[in-house]
Amino acid sequence: MDSRPADEPVAGASPMELVLQAAGGCSGMDVVLVLKKRRLELEKFEMRIEGVKRDEHPRIYESIHITYRAKGIGITVEELERAAELSLKTFCSVFGMLKLAAKVTHSCELMD
């Protein structure tokens, strides 16, 4: 971990960046598992997660957006959306905590 002013190089992720990484990892594992249980053949999966922190201290996230992208046989935007919804609303403990403090949104896309 590292945390320095914006104009200095850093050697690692900040604690707040690690929070987003934990949330993405938790939800991503859920989504992959849900797709697998639905017998969908996942060829490629990636996510992007972005957070906006408030200006005042403590500088907690006020909003978080996660984009799920997948490619595979039988995978549709609807299937990916279903898996993401299950993760964010039911399974992911990290997002279960974060959504108490931040507005959490998501989007789903298919890859070429």
Token duo for residue 66: 């996660």
- Provide the pLDDT for residue 70: 98
Query: Residue 17: its pLDDT value, please?
Result: 94
Rg of the chain over Cα atoms, rounded to whole angstroms, equals: 15
What domains are defined for the chain?
15-110 (3.30.300.20)
CA–CA distance, 30 with 34 (Å, rounded to integer): 6
Per-position pLDDT tens, the chain of length 112? 888 777 788 888 999 999 999 999 999 999 999 999 999 999 999 999 999 999 999 999 999 999 999 999 999 999 999 999 999 999 999 999 999 999 999 999 999 8
Q: One-letter amino acid identity for 112? A: D
Which among 39, 35, 52, 31 has a CA at the least distance from the CA of 98? 52
100: how many CB neighbours lie within 10 A of its CB?
Answer: 8
